[in-house]
């Protein structure tokens, strides 16, 4: 790890602590898997509203596997893209019941074979449930990692591999948690609060003077 990377991580630790937290409410791995699938193109707050009733109606993976597709679509409609999400949840639940006795597997290769589960969702599960070092590249991580000069890539999988090279393993899970909070509180996609930022010395956009012209997009 370079001195610069260590300085950035130390500042993130100082500001946001090293406590693990998950923004998606869940009580077991299966619930986190479904909540993460619902969170695509949707806010965590909205997902938490929907899953409050959803997990009562479908208490386990078996219940999801036996759900009526049209009914499930209505149950999750407000999270958006509900046709696809419902189809994937149903397919995923069926595969979990048939192949894994209703449990969520730990292995990345097994996870990404589940319908509707990509590397991002798989890494959420690996990090949050199994504590396996993994980097989740969501919109905040992608945008802010570029601003901090950790990557120039656009493709989330390429960003993930770049970050794995730059960040020490003990920070892989934490980085995502801290950067999400930073992205929600300070480093917005548009009009970030640069005057309140504790990472200005390390920000490539700030250094390039874009802050003054407000070209943060």
From the list 49-57, 67-75, 158-166, 189-197, the region that binds ligand SF4 by CB under 6 A is: 189-197
Residue that is written with structure tokens 């937290």 in the block: 21
> Is 206 an interacting residue with respect to ligand SF4 (CB under 6 A)?
yes
Q: Looking at 184, 200, 214, 215, which residue binds ligand SF4 (CB under 6 A)?
A: 200
Residue pair 117/37 in contact (Cβ under 8 Å)? The answer is yes
Q: Which residues contact 14 (CB under 8 A, 6 or more apart)?
A: none
> Which pairs with CB-CB distance under 8 Å and at least 24 residues apart come from 193-201?
198/11, 198/15, 199/8, 199/11, 199/148
> Is 203 an interacting residue with respect to ligand SF4 (CB under 6 A)?
yes
Q: For this structure, is 120 an active site residue? A: yes
From the list 3-11, 45-53, 77-85, 196-204, the region that binds ligand SF4 by CB under 6 A is: 196-204
> Is 186 an interacting residue with respect to ligand SF4 (CB under 6 A)?
yes
Distance, in Å, from the CA atom of 58 to the CA atom of 203, rounded to the nearest integer, reads 45
Q: By CB under 6 A, how many residues form the interface with ligand SF4?
A: 13
Q: Looking at 9, 47, 124, 199, which residue binds ligand SF4 (CB under 6 A)?
A: 199
> Is 192 an interacting residue with respect to ligand SF4 (CB under 6 A)?
yes
> Is 179 an interacting residue with respect to ligand SF4 (CB under 6 A)?
no
Q: Among residues 138, 146, 210, 211, which one is catalytic?
A: 138
Q: Cβ of residue 98: shortest distance to ligand SF4, in angstroms?
A: 46
Q: List the Cα angle 32/33/39 in 5-degree steps.
A: 85
Indicate the burial class of 23 (C-beta count within 10 angstroms; 0-12, 13-18, 19 or more): middle
Q: For this structure, is 170 an active site residue? A: no
> Is 8 an interacting residue with respect to ligand SF4 (CB under 6 A)?
no
> Which pairs with CB-CB distance under 8 Å and at least 24 residues apart come from 200-203?
202/4, 202/7, 202/8, 202/148, 202/149, 203/147, 203/148
Neighbouring C-beta atoms of residue 48, cutoff 10 Å: 16
From the list 15-23, 61-69, 163-171, 187-195, the region that binds ligand SF4 by CB under 6 A is: 187-195
Residue pair 182/12 in contact (Cβ under 8 Å)? The answer is yes
Q: Cβ of residue 125: shortest distance to ligand SF4, in angstroms?
A: 29
- By CB under 6 A, the residues from 125 to 164 that bind ligand SF4 are 147
| Residue 101: DSSP 8-state | T
Q: Which residues are catalytic?
A: 120, 138
Q: Which residues bind ligand SF4 (CB under 6 A)?
A: 147, 186-187, 192-194, 197, 199-200, 203, 205-206, 216
């Amino acid at each position: 790890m370079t001195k610069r990377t260590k300085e950035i991580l130390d500042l993130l630790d100082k500001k946001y602590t090293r406590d693990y937290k998950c923004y998606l409410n869940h009580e077991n791995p299966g619930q986190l898997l479904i909540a993460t699938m619902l969170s695509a193109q949707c806010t965590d707050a909205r997902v938490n509203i929907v899953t409050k009733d959803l997990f009562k109606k479908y208490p386990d993976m078996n219940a999801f596997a036996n759900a009526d597709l049209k009914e499930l679509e209505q149950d999750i409609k407000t999270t958006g893209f509900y046709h696809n999400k419902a189809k994937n949840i149903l397919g995923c639940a069926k595969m979990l019941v048939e192949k894994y006795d209703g449990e969520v597997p730990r292995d990345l290769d097994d996870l990404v074979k589940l319908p509707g589960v990509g590397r991002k969702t798989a890494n959420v599960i690996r990090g949050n449930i199994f504590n396996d070092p993994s980097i989740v590249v969501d919109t905040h991580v992608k945008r802010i990692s570029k601003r901090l000069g950790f990557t120039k890539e656009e493709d989330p999988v390429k960003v993930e591999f770049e970050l794995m090279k730059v960040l020490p393993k003990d920070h892989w899970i934490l980085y995502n948690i801290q950067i999400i909070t930073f992205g929600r509180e300070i480093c917005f996609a548009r009009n970030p609060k640069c005057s309140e930022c504790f990472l200005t010395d390390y920000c490539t956009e700030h250094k390039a003077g874009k802050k003054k012209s407000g070209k943060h997009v």
